[in-house]
Structure 1
Amino acid sequence: MVSFKDTKQVAEFYSENTRYTHFHTPSQLIRYYSNYFEYKVMPSLETFKEDEKMQSDFHERHGQQHLLFIFPENEPLPQDLKDYAEASGYTTEKMELYQTEELTLGKRAGEVRIVGDDQTFKDFLTVCRVGEREYGEEFADLKTEMHTADRADDSVIQLVAYDHGQPVGKLEAILHGDLIELDDFYVLETARGKGIGTALQEKVLDYGQSLILIADGNDTPKEMYERQGYRKISERYELLKVKSSS
């Protein structure tokens, strides 16, 4: 069965124990999903507090401003842990994994090209940066480095969509054997609702029919995914806290 473990992970293993795996990536200290604890078993509140201090001290030593904990798939967070997280300033995220093998697409618009030459890659990065700058220039620069590395990875497909000749959307897809993971999916706000995203997804079908994607369960447009033929196959909770840099 497909699970979150079948999705792309850009994080370096640091250590592990019987309860969690610690991921720490020195080259990407500002990227949350490269530096976190991933639990193997659901912790009690008291155990979580101990782990929280451990990660906090570790990240402080490395000049990091966030805490991130990922919990086991398909297990609800205990209420006392939820209450503590809310009182402590964490954002509680419920991430959902979707899959389809019969994608049903609506209206489509624009022209989609596979990133190949330098110009299409430049256009791809232009669209990427619009969305990524929302998290700061340093993060956007890091993502440019990651996209550049992905360009040389045969398992990664980079697509850019055009509307009247202007780059307005992009998508990265990762090949996992028979599975295709949709990742870094973004359409400029001014181009949304036209069918640009549909055209990007349609192009991915050139590589196979079994598609998966991760969506934020807090604001997932579930009806849209269901109309397109996706079904939710797994979910997991995450706790994120970003410390003030002041």
Structure 2
Amino acid sequence: MKQITFEDIYTLGNVVAENNQYRHFHYPEMLIRYDSNFIEFKNLPSLTEFKEVEKYLRDFHRKNGQQHVKFYFPADREPTKELIAYLTDTGYETGFLELYAIQPKQFPFVPNHQDIDIQVVTDKSLEKFLALKHQHDLEFGSEFAKQKAELIKRQFEDPNIIQILAFYEGSPAGYVDVIVSKETAEIDDLSVDEQFQRKGIGSRLQKFVMESYPERMVILVADGQDTPREMYQKQNYQYLGFKYEIQKVYQY
């Protein structure tokens, strides 16, 4: 099994520009999805270099009616103090992601629960899947939720993306997407509805993935400042590295 890096993580978007310094991802089908419209630096930029690329992306996004800029720094590299000072002074949100991986057989034992039913989404359950995700996506605005629903429908047709829905006592309660490649199964957008949390649904969703892809390395990216990362560590996932992300939303 090859060494897993952030390069193995699925990116929804098209590379529209690339050079020795960065890759520029753009996804015209959903311009307000920040995670699909960004620049990923290959090398840690100096402040002068960052400002030049920042202007390029800002101008590009303005032409497309986009109000944000987003950047990723190279894996396992911290921004310089000079960069951090500039980002702080100019109103950027700064965070970092953590990469985890696990062999399915290393996932802890999870007992079956008669009230929890895990299913791959089909034509019959797609509307329930859409409704639960829509409810959660409204947190980011009605327009985002509307566009996300169309994205979910497109992904439903993608044979490499498996959508999984959890029911608790017959009610849609949680979900996860699995992006399948030759060597990995990537867990993405794992979520349990607030009213059904602390019932073991998240663990059952993950166990379903482990049982479905026993020969693949299961990978995921966690918010380095959020609590689920602690759950992954307790579940025997191996920490593989970090990556800083920054973004800024402009008010016209």
**Shorter-chain TM-score category?**
over 0.9
Indicate the residue corresponding to 1:216 in structure 2.
223
Aligned-pair CA distance for 1:105: 4.5
Percent of aligned pairs with the same amino acid: 37
Aligned-pair CA distance for 1:244: 2.0
Equivalent pair of 1:178/1:208 in contact (CA under 8 Å): no
Is 1:166 paired with 2:171? yes
Equivalent pair of 1:162/1:169 in contact (CA under 8 Å): yes
User: In structure 2, which of residues 46, 51, 54 is the aligned counterpart of residue 52 of structure 1?
Assistant: 54
Aligned-pair CA distance for 1:107: 5.8
SS across alignment from 2:185? strand
Q: C-alpha deviations, 1:139-187, integer Å up to 9, x for none?
A: 1122111211111122111111111111010111111113110012111
Partner amino acid, structure 2, of 1:55: L
The number of equivalent residue pairs is 244
- Which stretch of structure 1 is more off in the superposition, 145-154 or 95-104? 145-154
Partner amino acid, structure 1, of 2:176: L
Indicate the residue corresponding to 2:161 in structure 1.
156
Indicate the residue corresponding to 1:111 in structure 2.
117
Aligned-pair CA distance for 1:21: 1.2
Closer/same/farther in 2, CA of residues 84 and 107 from structure 1, 3 Å limit:
farther
TM-score normalised to structure 2 length = 0.92
- Name stretches of at least 5 consecutive residues in structure 1 with no aligned partner: none
Indicate the residue corresponding to 1:19 in structure 2.
21
Closer/same/farther in 2, CA of residues 108 and 48 from structure 1, 3 Å limit:
farther
Aligned-pair CA distance for 1:220: 3.9
- Name stretches of at least 5 consecutive residues in structure 2 with no aligned partner: none
Partner amino acid, structure 2, of 1:218: Q
Mapped partners of 1:87, 1:104: distance in 2: 45
Aligned-pair CA distance for 1:223: 3.0
Indicate the residue corresponding to 2:243 in structure 1.
236
Q: C-alpha deviations, 1:190-218, integer Å up to 9, x for none?
A: 11111111111111123224211111101
Report the RMSD for the aligned CA atoms in angstroms. Answer: 1.5
Mapped partners of 1:77, 1:108: distance in 2: 45
Equivalent pair of 1:108/1:194 in contact (CA under 8 Å): no
Aligned-pair CA distance for 1:108: 5.9
Q: C-alpha deviations, 1:51-98, integer Å up to 9, x for none?
A: 111111111121101110111111111111111111111111101111
